[in-house]
Amino acid sequence: MEKVIINGGKTLSGTVDIGGAKNAAVAIIPATLLTRGVCRLENLPDIKDVNIMLGTLKQLGAKVKYINPHTYEIDTTPEVDTEVPDELAKHLRASYYFLGALLGREKCASVAMPGGCDFGVRPIDQHIKGFELLGAKVGFRENAMVEVKAESLLGNQIYLDVVSVGATVNLILAAVLAPGLTTIEQAAKEPHIVDLANFLNLMGAKITGAGTDVIKIHGVKQLKGCTYSIIPDQIEAGTYMVAAAAAGGEVIIRNVIPKHLESITAKLLECGIEVDDDFDDEIHIKSDVRPKRCNVKTLPHPGFPTDMQPQIAVLLSVADGTSIISEGVWDNRFRYVEQLARLGASINVEGKLAVIEGVEHLKGAPIKADDLRAGAAMFIAGLVATGTTEIRGVEHVDRGYEKIVEKLAALGADIKREIVPDPAGSLNEVG
Ligand code: EPZ
């Protein structure tokens, strides 16, 4: 187990490079099963979640060849198992993408009910409804295994009752090889949905409308291998934008798609931060005054991302005035507030609303990362707080941020990692 120690109060300056998108990578890795051929995936982030997905693919029988830390060649020609073992599935919510991918390829799959960051109830009813509409039977076996099976699949019209990233991905995966036309209505529009569709189209799929709320999939007979580079990570980029805004200084965030960051840019501008996004693949942040208050409502894309909610809360904790955050995606995503309170933040949570009275300073203290994005927020809090902040539970953060300690140190943060001889509290829940 490790902890991170930050001596806060230092401004940030320099350039930080953003890696490939975690949530695109964890959908595209299982999607390689839809061909019997070789796919070369580039710009994969070198993070725990990606390694678990690649490990699962290997365990199922695919050949996974390391080329460099961000590039792998995946050969899915061999026969593959259709059961994803519980030890792998429980680490990663995205393991349920093997349901859609294996259903598409082999017409059957079983995966243990996925774990995930604890944001309240995380149902998969929309995935199940969609699989059934495509012709599959869905059952639950012992040990919480979900089993999907079909004699054959056939395209159909699927209306999602909630906008779900996971259900949209799973249904695209299940439908690309199903004869006929599948229409997904009220589909999620996140950049990683578009990236998955672009990857599959390069393999020969016929998917249109990705990035809008109606996706149409004309089933094709087979897909071929391809070489594909994953898009930059919207949330990693947003995290460094908010870190620079909160800690102060001048930072260039490189290898990004500014269009994907518009909702974050808009909120930072409202807070009085200077943001220049008039570049093809960079965003420049300059912050030298106390941020102004603003209200934030999280929504599915193109709304403000729920995965940036804890990070912006840190900025608003030290803003001038009272801000309200309204969580529009998850039932329970304010658990981290307790940790920020230890640093002196003044936040009241009422259901899915948090009212933040900005304070002038946060003060360093021992805190913990409860999950991936909450953990990223604790790093930002440590940068902002005066004195020393010690953060435990950093293994959650390593799931989604490559070399975060090194990247922040290169921007001038006083930050280091230390091993803690404490076996309790190790990684058990991820999302
Ligand atoms: C994805 O989770 C992301 N994970 C999450 O990011 C992100 O918070 C979330 O989308 C929302 O943007 C990955 O992409 C791997 P959903 P997912 O299905 O797919 C309800 C991170 O930090 N719902 O879009 O699990 C659900 O309860 C992670 O990188 C149903 O009711 O989220 C929630 O309220 C954490 N029935 C809402 O929809 C269903 O069948 C959105 O969930 C499915 C979902």
Cβ-contact 95, 114 below 8 angstroms? yes
pLDDT class of 429 with cuts at 50, 70, 90: very low
Residue of 422 and 293 predicted with greater confidence = 293
Catalytic residue among 39, 108, 117, 271: 117
CA of 271 relative to ligand 1 center, distance in Å: 28
Strand partners, 356: 323, 347
Average pLDDT estimate for 238-267: 98
- Short-list 342, 360, 238, 383, CA closest to 296: 238
Query: From CA 172, how far away is CA 341, in angstroms rounded?
Result: 42
Average pLDDT estimate for 250-273: 98
CA of 6 relative to ligand 1 center, distance in Å: 31
Query: From CA 361, how far away is CA 344, in angstroms rounded?
Result: 8
Whether ligand 1 lies within 6 angstroms of the CB of 161 is answered as no
CA of 431 relative to ligand 1 center, distance in Å: 9
CA of 192 relative to ligand 1 center, distance in Å: 12
Global pTM reads 0.96
The pLDDT of residue 128 = 95
Whether 22-229 and 2-19+232-419 are alike in CATH topology: the answer is yes
Atom of ligand 1 nearest to the CA of 305: 12
pLDDT class of 189 with cuts at 50, 70, 90: very high
Whether ligand 1 lies within 6 angstroms of the CB of 402 is answered as no
The pLDDT of residue 307 = 98
Residue 431 has pLDDT above 70, yes or no: no
Cβ-contact 252, 14 below 8 angstroms? yes
**pLDDT of 193-243, one tens digit each?**
999 999 999 999 999 999 999 999 999 999 999 999 999 999 999 999 999
Instruction: Please report, as a single letter, which amino acid is at residue 58.
Output: K
The question of whether 117 is a catalytic residue gets the answer: yes
User: With 0-12 CB in 10 A as exposed, 13-18 as middle and 19+ as buried, what is 25?
Assistant: buried
Nearest residue by C-alpha to atom 6 in ligand 1: 307
The pLDDT of residue 88 = 80
The pLDDT > 90 percentage for the chain reads 90
The pLDDT of residue 420 = 84
CA 158 to chain CA mean position, Å:
24
pLDDT class of 424 with cuts at 50, 70, 90: low
The pLDDT of residue 422 = 60
Which strands sit side by side in the sheet containing 145-149, from one edge to the other?
A: 83-84, 108-112, 145-149, 137-141
pLDDT class of 428 with cuts at 50, 70, 90: very low
**pLDDT of 151-169, one tens digit each?**
999 999 999 999 999 999 9
The pLDDT of residue 216 = 98
Tokens 């051929």 locate to 37
Cβ-contact 73, 65 below 8 angstroms? yes
Whether ligand 1 lies within 6 angstroms of the CB of 126 is answered as yes
The pLDDT of residue 118 = 60
Query: From CA 136, how far away is CA 153, in angstroms rounded?
Result: 7
The pLDDT of residue 215 = 98
Least confident span in 64-73, 137-146, 264-273, 397-406? 137-146
Residue of 155 and 91 predicted with greater confidence = 155
Q: Which residues of 222-245 are buried (b: 16+ CB within 10 A; e: fewer)?
A: ebebbebebbbbbbbbbbbbbbbb
Give just the sign of the alpha carbon dihedral 115, 120, 123, 126: negative
Atom of ligand 1 nearest to the CA of 330: 34
- 424 Cβ contact partners less than 8 Å away, ≥ 6 residues apart: none
Nearest residue by C-alpha to atom 28 in ligand 1: 431
**pLDDT of 331-390, one tens digit each?**
989 999 999 999 999 999 999 999 999 999 999 999 999 999 999 999 999 999 999 999
The pLDDT of residue 211 = 98
Instruction: Please report, as a single letter, which amino acid is at residue 55.
Output: G
Q: What angle do CA 204, 207, 210 make, to 5 degrees?
A: 135
**pLDDT of 96-136, one tens digit each?**
999 999 999 999 999 987 665 565 567 899 999 999 999 99
Whether ligand 1 lies within 6 angstroms of the CB of 23 is answered as yes
CA of 218 relative to ligand 1 center, distance in Å: 25
Query: From CA 129, how far away is CA 389, in angstroms rounded?
Result: 46
Nearest residue by C-alpha to atom 31 in ligand 1: 123
The pLDDT of residue 430 = 43
Nearest residue by C-alpha to atom 8 in ligand 1: 307
The pLDDT of residue 117 = 57
User: DSSP string covering 22-71, please?
Assistant: HHHHHHHHHHGGGBSSEEEEES---SHHHHHHHHHHHHHT-EEEEEETTE
Could you please state the CATH topology (level 3) that the domain comprising 2-19+232-419 is classified under: UDP-n-acetylglucosamine1-carboxyvinyl-transferase; Chain (3.65.10)
**In this structure, what token pair is assigned to residue 188?**
């999620």
**pLDDT of 326-342, one tens digit each?**
999 999 899 999 999 99
Q: Superfamily assignment of 22-229 in CATH?
A: Enolpyruvate transferase domain (3.65.10.10)
- Domain positions in the chain are 2-19+232-419, 22-229
Between 191-202 and 165-175, two packed helices, what is the crossing angle to 10 degrees? Answer: 10
Using DSSP's 3-state secondary structure scheme, residue 108 falls into: strand
Nearest residue by C-alpha to atom 19 in ligand 1: 166
